[in-house]
Chain A
Amino acid sequence: MTLQEAQTYLLQRAREKGVDLEALATGSRELTLRAREGQLEEITGAERGGIGVRVVVAGKTGYAFTEELSSEALDWVLSEAVENAGLQTEMDGFLPEGRSMGRHDLLGEGLSVPLEEKKAMALTLEQEVRRDERVQQVGAAAYSEHEYQTELASTRGAAGGYRSGFAYQMINAVMSEGESIKQGFELKVSREVSALDPASTAQEFIRKTGRLLGARPLKSGRYTAYLEPSAFLSLLAPFLDHWSGKQIIEGKSRLGDKLGQKIASEAFSLYDDPDHPEGLMNAPFDAEGTPTRTIYLLRQGVVESFMHNSQTANKLDQELTGHASRSYKGVLGVGAHNVIVAPGSGVGLKDGVLVTDLMGVHAGANPISGDFSLQALGLKIESGEEAYPVENFTISGNFFDLIERIVAVGDDLEWSVMYLAGASPIVEIADVAFAGA
Chain B
Amino acid sequence: MINESTAERLIERALAHGADFAEVYAERWKNRSLRLLDLEVQEATSGIEYGAGIRLFFGTRVVYAYSNDLSETNLLEVTDTLARLGGEAGKVDEKGAGGLDFRKALPEGRHAPELPFEARDKRWRIDRLSEADRAARVGPEIKKVQIHLLEWDQDILVANSEGLWTSDRRVRTRYMVTAIAENEHGMQTGFEGPGLAVGLELFDLEPPAEHGRAAGEQALTRLRAKPAPAGPMPVVIGNAFGGVIFHEALGHLLETTSVARKTSVLTGKLGEKIASEVVTYVDDGTIPHGWGSSEYDDEGAPTERTVLIDKGVLKSYMVDRWGSLMTGYRTTGSGRRQNYTFAPTSRMRNTFIEAGGASIESLFEGIEYGLYAKKLGGGQVKPGSGEYNFAVQEGYIIRNGRIEEPVKGAMLVGKGPESIQRIVAVAGDRKNASGMCGSLSGTIPVEVGQPHLLISEIVVGGEG
User: Which residue numbers of A lie inside 8 Å of B, CB to CB?
Assistant: 31, 33, 36, 39-50, 52, 62-68, 73, 76-77, 80-81, 83-85, 87-90, 115, 137, 139, 174, 181-183, 220, 250-252, 329-331, 359-360, 362-364, 366, 368-369, 371-375, 391-394, 396-397, 433, 435-437
B415 CB to closest chain A CB, in angstroms?
8
- On whether the beta carbons of B413 and A393 are closer than 8 Å, the reply is yes
What is the bound-complex CA distance between A334 and B309, given in angstroms? 46
What is the bound-complex CA distance between A33 and B40, given in angstroms? 46
Contact partner, A374, options B42, B44, B85, B389, Cβ 8 Å:
B389
Contacts of B377 on A, CB cut-off 8 Å? Answer: 363-364
- On whether the beta carbons of B47 and A373 are closer than 8 Å, the reply is no
B180 within 8 A of A: yes
What is the bound-complex CA distance between A437 and B460, given in angstroms? 9
B361 within 8 A of A: no
Contact partner, B48, options A68, A371, A373, Cβ 8 Å:
A68
- On whether the beta carbons of B263 and A42 are closer than 8 Å, the reply is no
What is the bound-complex CA distance between A85 and B409, given in angstroms? 39
B330 within 8 A of A: no
What is the bound-complex CA distance between A137 and B41, given in angstroms? 49
User: SS class of chain A's interface: helix, strand, loop or mixed?
Assistant: strand
B81 within 8 A of A: yes
B152 within 8 A of A: no
Chosen A-B contacts, 15 in total, with CB atoms closer than 8 Å, are A47-B67, A47-B78, A66-B47, A80-B32, A83-B122, A115-B85, A181-B385, A183-B382, A252-B180, A359-B380, A371-B409, A373-B391, A374-B411, A392-B387, A435-B462
Minimal Cβ-Cβ distance residue in A for B440: A140
What is the bound-complex CA distance between A121 and B438, given in angstroms? 27
Contacts of B444 on A, CB cut-off 8 Å? Answer: none
B164 within 8 A of A: no
Contacts of B384 on A, CB cut-off 8 Å? Answer: 137, 139, 174, 181-183
- On whether the beta carbons of B122 and A41 are closer than 8 Å, the reply is no
What is the bound-complex CA distance between A97 and B258, given in angstroms? 52
User: SS class of chain B's interface: helix, strand, loop or mixed?
Assistant: strand
Contacts of B186 on A, CB cut-off 8 Å? Answer: 369, 371
Contact partner, A87, options B37, B44, B62, B262, Cβ 8 Å:
B44
- On whether the beta carbons of A139 and B411 are closer than 8 Å, the reply is no
- On whether the beta carbons of B459 and A46 are closer than 8 Å, the reply is no
- On whether the beta carbons of A360 and B389 are closer than 8 Å, the reply is yes
What is the bound-complex CA distance between A39 and B67, given in angstroms? 25
Given contacts A181-B384, A373-B462, contact A64 B65 (CB under 8 A): no
- On whether the beta carbons of B68 and A49 are closer than 8 Å, the reply is yes
- On whether the beta carbons of B389 and A375 are closer than 8 Å, the reply is yes
Contacts of A62 on B, CB cut-off 8 Å? Answer: 44
- On whether the beta carbons of A45 and B82 are closer than 8 Å, the reply is yes
- On whether the beta carbons of B78 and A45 are closer than 8 Å, the reply is yes
B58 CB to closest chain A CB, in angstroms?
10
Given contacts A40-B61, A67-B48, A392-B459, contact A87 B41 (CB under 8 A): yes
Contacts of A66 on B, CB cut-off 8 Å? Answer: 47-48, 50
